[in-house]
Amino acid sequence: MSISAQQVKELRDRSGVGMMDCKKALIEANGDLDKAFEVLRKNGIAKAQKKSGRDAKEGSIVSYIHPGAKLGVLLELNCETDFVANTDDFKDLANDICMHIAATSPLSVRTKDVDSTIIDKEKEIYMDQAKKSGKPDAIIEKMVEGRLKKFFQENVLLEQNFVKDPSKTITDLITDKVSVLGENIVINSFSRFQVGEK
């Protein structure tokens, strides 16, 4: 099948992936742009999983001050080399994550980092709510699990839907950049500051 340069350019503009990878994906998808984009996403996730075990000891600390100077974020975003840390793609990702943190005020980077007292309190609330439904214990357990999962999706940075594109989570956003930049990228930590809040 013949793939036009225009198709390759369109897919590259949409995905940020290299020309050759775009062309291969379009061939695999018989010229269908949407299917080719999915192929690239799947390949990107596979590549990202391979890279996720590698050390990410370089990177940068990025700051974001929201207009009005009442809200600010400090973020440590790590990668494997200084070279990648200095690319526009990496810097754009860091800025996007900072703005996202400013907007959503997550509790932690990862689910395992959420304070156990917060989790216990949430479980207790969900259990009380579920018991009022009068459903059997097995169903109540599932209801609590479901609500806890939703709690993590709303409050844990890597689980949250990205504010600028809710079809992606922050994990998806990072995975996409890993496939473009070819290095492991890790959010190490963040701090969010708001005037008048402790």
Q: What is the chain's mean pLDDT, rounded?
A: 85
Give the 3-state DSSP-derived string for 131-147, with helices as H, strands as E and coil as C. HCCCCCHHHHHHHHHHH
Which of 107, 94, 84, 106 lies closest to 63 in space, CA to CA?
94
Q: pLDDT value at position 135?
A: 78
**How far is 41 from 173, CA to CA, in rounded Å?**
11
Q: 3-class SS at 87?
A: coil
- 133-151 residue pLDDT tens: 777 778 888 888 889 899 9
Q: pLDDT value at position 34?
A: 85
Q: Which two tokens stand for residue 50?
A: 């391979």
- Out of 9-23, 89-103, 174-188, pick the least confident: 9-23
Q: Which two tokens stand for residue 197?
A: 């809040």
- 19-63 residue pLDDT tens: 777 888 888 888 888 888 788 777 765 455 555 556 667 888 999
> pTM of the predicted model, to two decimals?
0.69
pLDDT surpasses 70 at 18: no
52: exposed, middle or buried (Cβ count in 10 Å: 0-12, 13-18, 19+): middle
Q: Which two tokens stand for residue 165?
A: 């594109």
127: exposed, middle or buried (Cβ count in 10 Å: 0-12, 13-18, 19+): middle
Name the H helices within the chain: 5-15, 19-28, 33-51, 82-85, 88-104, 116-131, 137-155, 170-181
